[in-house]
Homo-oligomer: A and B are copies of this chain.
């Protein structure tokens, strides 16, 4: 069954499309008789209130494009949920566009979205690294979430990785640990460097440094297993390990268990990401730093709505991380 369009209503009522549109939107100067006839025809034909037509007249579409390079992976999903939650409740609909990290695909998406007259764009990434800016055209503001535009002063919203490193260090120091190692991902990642920096700064305030040095490597369980084995061999007195991801922490836990070290009795363990399937499945369940990615998405959506309303922001906002404590760093009996 074909959908009834404003053209059908106009034809049936014997008026122009513009007149039919004005009549249905209560705008313009029309005779009451015309307005009534159009309304009657619209009802009879089953012409529903049409957001498209309203948007056309208002110059706003009440839609927003969400572009991700991350194939809606583990990091962009919570960001996306936050965006969608903040906008959806305000009756703004979200177009999802997965560029699969292909610049040509991204270009086509941006063109399509501009033609659809989106009111704005949110560009989301896998990590907080800078990326080339997206230019959608005049009147279409862009806000970055979990990534930052190269050569521009935002507007961007990212998690506070440095603060995340600080809360992990504070927690372990507070638990009486003094020989705290750090095993993390590749040094080329800004997030890994910032977590290490926050962690190191907090230890320095206590007159300490990363026990055995910061060990950059991979974002994998295998690296966690390898690096922990080396750390234990070189620094057998290690009494805690802060890991740059929960996957790394899982690998570290395997090595500690194989070496007969109790977690947290002998060595306390803190991960990063609070990725629940990983953190809860560990033996024992992992204390982890949560980046509050939904909040990152909500803040980005708020900035975009403000920009659409004519109040664009600048700069990079950092959303605080939150420590979720579980048995791997708690005193007491553990699995």
**Contact across chains for B59 and A5 when beta carbons are under 8 A apart:** yes
**Contact across chains for B61 and A84 when beta carbons are under 8 A apart:** no
A277 on the B face (CB < 8 A): yes
**Contact across chains for A59 and B2 when beta carbons are under 8 A apart:** yes
Residues of B within 8 A of A19 (CB): 16, 18
**Contact across chains for A116 and B281 when beta carbons are under 8 A apart:** no
A32 on the B face (CB < 8 A): no
| Residue among B17, B66, B116, B247 making CB contact with A18, cutoff 8 Å | B17
Mark interface residues in A139-169 (1 if CB within 8 Å of B CB, else 0). 1000000000000000000000000000000
Tell me what chain A mostly uses at the interface: helix, strand, loop, or mixed: helix
A190 on the B face (CB < 8 A): no
Mark interface residues in A41-53 (1 if CB within 8 Å of B CB, else 0). 0000010111111
**Contact across chains for A114 and B3 when beta carbons are under 8 A apart:** no
Docked Cα-Cα span, A74 to B78, in Å, equals 12
Mark interface residues in A70-114 (1 if CB within 8 Å of B CB, else 0). 011110010011001100100101111110000000000100111
A329 on the B face (CB < 8 A): no
Residues of B within 8 A of A74 (CB): 277
**Contact across chains for B81 and A139 when beta carbons are under 8 A apart:** no
Q: Could you list some 24 contacts between A and B, CB below 8 A? A: A3-B117, A7-B57, A16-B19, A17-B22, A18-B18, A18-B20, A46-B138, A48-B137, A51-B117, A52-B52, A53-B56, A72-B77, A72-B80, A73-B77, A77-B77, A84-B96, A93-B95, A94-B96, A95-B96, A220-B281, A222-B281, A247-B277, A250-B281, A254-B283
Starting from the known contacts A5-B59, A48-B117, A247-B277, 5 additional A-B residue pairs (CB-CB under 8 Å) come to: A6-B56, A73-B77, A84-B96, A84-B98, A247-B281
Interface residues of chain A, those whose CB is within 8 Å of chain B, are 1-8, 10, 16-22, 46, 48-53, 55-61, 63, 66, 71-74, 77, 80-81, 84-85, 88, 91, 93-98, 109, 112-117, 137-139, 220-222, 225, 247, 250-251, 254, 277-278, 280-281, 283
